[in-house]
């Protein structure tokens, strides 16, 4: 497409394309009509010319040339008798000046067989456009060729009139079609222009604005508007979550930083003994460790997207054993508590090993810190979809039922439950890791269940299978060969 055409407005380009298509159609239709009328007129003239030439040949075979033409009366007005060399022997009164209808070469060819030729064209002056049929004359007379001609004046006039009428009719039809095409293009694109104006308003900072989806049939325009509105909803939710996350992160970071600053100021206020400095450094180390843990959690949450590019096939038993070792290392002083692993040896999942280790590590840390009794790590295959079910169960008192749906929210803590300590990012990080894998997080405690949203409807159909007592945190992840891909808001 030429550059200038591409720069035209879309509705103008649509009309131009429509007009070009209509021109092609109208020209083709007009050419067909013109050809059919011309064929019918020519067929009739050819029959008359053949009859006239046949009569002339019969007369020339019996009579002298002049007498033969005279016997035909009006049929002989545009007729001639010629020798084989092209010399005119007799000529009808309708041929101006008696000029030969055939050139010498044409006369020689006509003496051997039938010859059809003509003079002039559609727009020739009156009387100048002729159709000529020449045939050989038998017998021993002087005439060797009989040539008949018919004037095409009336036929040309009819065709010219038809051509003019077709031109006018096609021009009117093209103008009407162009107008209709422009109105249709404008009507079709007006909602898009309205969308553009509203999108410009949104781009300038307006909030809460949505595109006005036209009422009526559910066509491409309405689907576009609905999709754009859904995108705007997702963007506003993401922006709100980002603002809330930044506010909460700033608040959570301010507390440990203020504590560290106060400890340092207190230590520098006056000279202290080595033991006092050691105690201060231990407190600073504890605060720094908490700050590092919080920063790592924030960085991991910020880096997680809607996919896991480092995902690979890993053995479920291996990741559970690693999480179990982490739990046992923290239970050295709790001989009454044990860690149990239940997993088939041939269960393979598709996941990012580092992220999955971080998620299971957070879960066993919570189980060690807030739970009681045996910690059970379980892996199993889902029965209705190609997914793996990983769960961490302990026998603690559990969370309050009303807090379950908020437990995976960032910086949410329940002061009266097992989540009272920490920054409130553990379960939110686990939920983000599950979502990045196209999986689902489930939090079940004391017979109450909460399931985070799942991108795959099949995951939502899976029933929970765990003890009704204690607390069970479950991760549903894609099994090997099941490459899920989702888009986060």
Residues 310 and 266 in one domain: no
Domain boundary residue, one of 302, 326, 356: 302
Residues 84 and 44 in one domain: yes
pLDDT at 419: 43
Q: What is the count of structural domains for the chain?
A: 3
* Domain encompassing residue 83: 3-158
pLDDT at 420: 45
Residues 248 and 151 in one domain: no
pLDDT at 481: 57
Q: Is 451 within 8 Å of 472 (Cβ atoms)? A: no
Residues 470 and 327 in one domain: yes
Residue 483 lies in a domain: no
Residues 414 and 391 in one domain: yes
- Chain-centroid distance of CA 179 in Å reads 30
Domain boundary residue, one of 302, 331, 354: 302
Residues 352 and 407 in one domain: yes
Residue 430 lies in a domain: yes
In DSSP terms, which residues pair with 208 in a beta bridge? none
**3-state secondary structure (DSSP) of residue 477:** strand
pLDDT at 378: 92
Domain with residue 435: its CATH number is 3.30.565.10
Q: Give me the helix-helix angle, 153-203 and 220-269, nearest 10°.
A: 20
Residue 331 lies in a domain: yes
In DSSP terms, which residues pair with 146 in a beta bridge? 81, 135
CA distances from 124 to 129, 267, 335, 444, 459 (A): 6, 117, 119, 99, 85
pLDDT at 483: 45
Alpha-helical regions (H) of 333-456: 353-370, 426-436
Residue 367 lies in a domain: yes
Residue 175 lies in a domain: no
Residues 398 and 327 in one domain: yes
pLDDT at 35: 94
Predicted model pTM? 0.49
Q: Which two tokens stand for residue 269?
A: 């206020």
Domain with residue 142: its CATH number is 3.30.450
Residue 57 lies in a domain: yes
Q: How many CA atoms lie within 13 A of 143 on its CB side?
A: 30
Digit-coded pLDDT (tens) for 168-193:
999 999 999 888 888 888 887 777 77
Please give the helix or strand (H or E) that residue 67 lies within, else none: helix 65-72
Greatest Cα-to-Cα distance within the chain, rounded to the nearest angstrom: 156
Residues 471 and 326 in one domain: yes
In DSSP terms, which residues pair with 82 in a beta bridge? 88, 145
**């092209």: which residue's tokens?**
86
Low-confidence ranges of the chain (pLDDT < 70): 1-7, 140, 214, 216-217, 241, 244-245, 247-249, 251-253, 255, 290, 293-294, 296-309, 332-335, 408, 410-425, 480-489
Residue 472 lies in a domain: yes
Residue 406 lies in a domain: yes
Residues 32 and 13 in one domain: yes
Phi, psi of 278 (to 5 degrees): -65, -40
Domain boundary residue, one of 241, 267, 302: 302
Residues 325 and 457 in one domain: yes
pLDDT at 387: 83
Residues 123 and 224 in one domain: no
Residues 234 and 368 in one domain: no
């Amino acid at each position: 497409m030429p550059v200038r055409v591409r720069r035209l407005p879309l509705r103008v380009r649509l009309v131009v394309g429509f007009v070009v298509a209509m021109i092609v159609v109208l020209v083709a239709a007009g050419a067909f009509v013109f050809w059919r009328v011309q064929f019918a007129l020519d067929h009739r003239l050819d029959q008359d010319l053949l009859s006239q030439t046949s009569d002339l040949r019969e007369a020339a075979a019996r009579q002298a040339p002049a007498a033969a033409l005279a016997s035909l009366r009006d049929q002989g007005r545009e007729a001639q008798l010629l020798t084989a060399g092209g010399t005119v022997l007799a000529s009808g009164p309708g041929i101006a000046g008696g000029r030969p209808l055939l050139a010498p070469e044409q006369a020689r060819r006509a003496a051997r067989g039938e010859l059809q030729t003509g003079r002039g064209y559609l727009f020739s002056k009156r009387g100048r456009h002729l159709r000529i049929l020449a045939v050989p004359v038998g017998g021993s007379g002087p005439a060797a060729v009989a040539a008949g001609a018919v004037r095409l004046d009336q036929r040309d006039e009819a065709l010219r009139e038809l051509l003019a009428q077709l031109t006018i009719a096609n021009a009117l039809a093209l103008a009407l079609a162009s107008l209709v095409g422009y109105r249709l293009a404008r009507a079709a694109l007006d909602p898009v222009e309205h969308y553009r104006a509203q999108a410009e308003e949104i781009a300038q900072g307006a909030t809460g604005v949505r595109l006005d989806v036209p009422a009526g049939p559910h066509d491409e325009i309405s689907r576009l508007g609905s999709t754009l509105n859904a995108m705007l909803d997702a963007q506003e939710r993401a922006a709100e979550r980002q603002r809330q996350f930044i506010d909460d992160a700033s608040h959570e970071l301010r507390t440990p930083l203020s504590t560290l600053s106060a400890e340092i100021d207190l230590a520098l206020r006056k000279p202290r003994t080595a033991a006092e400095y050691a105690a201060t450094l231990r407190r600073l180390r504890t605060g720094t460790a908490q700050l590092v843990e919080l920063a790592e959690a924030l960085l991991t949450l910020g880096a997680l997207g809607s996919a896991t590019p480092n995902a690979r096939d890993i053995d479920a038993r291996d990741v559970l054993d690693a999480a179990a070792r982490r739990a046992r290392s923290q239970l050295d002083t709790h001989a009454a508590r044990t860690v149990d692993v239940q997993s088939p040896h041939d269960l393979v999942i598709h996941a990012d090993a580092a992220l999955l280790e971080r998620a299971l590590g957070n879960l066993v840390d919570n189980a060690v810190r807030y739970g009681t009794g045996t910690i059970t790590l379980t892996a199993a295959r889902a029965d209705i979809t190609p997914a793996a079910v990983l769960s961490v169960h302990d026998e603690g008192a559990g969370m309050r039922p009303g807090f379950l749906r908020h437990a995976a929210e960032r910086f949410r803590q329940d002061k009266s439950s097992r989540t009272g300590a920490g920054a409130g990012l553990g379960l939110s990080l686990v939920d983000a890791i599950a979502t990045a894998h196209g999986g689902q997080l489930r939090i079940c405690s004391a017979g109450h269940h909460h399931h985070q949203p799942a991108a795959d409807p099949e995951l939502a159909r899976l029933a929970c299978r765990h003890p009704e007592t204690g607390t069970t945190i479950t991760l549903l992840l894609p099994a090997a060969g099941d490459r899920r891909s989702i888009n986060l808001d």
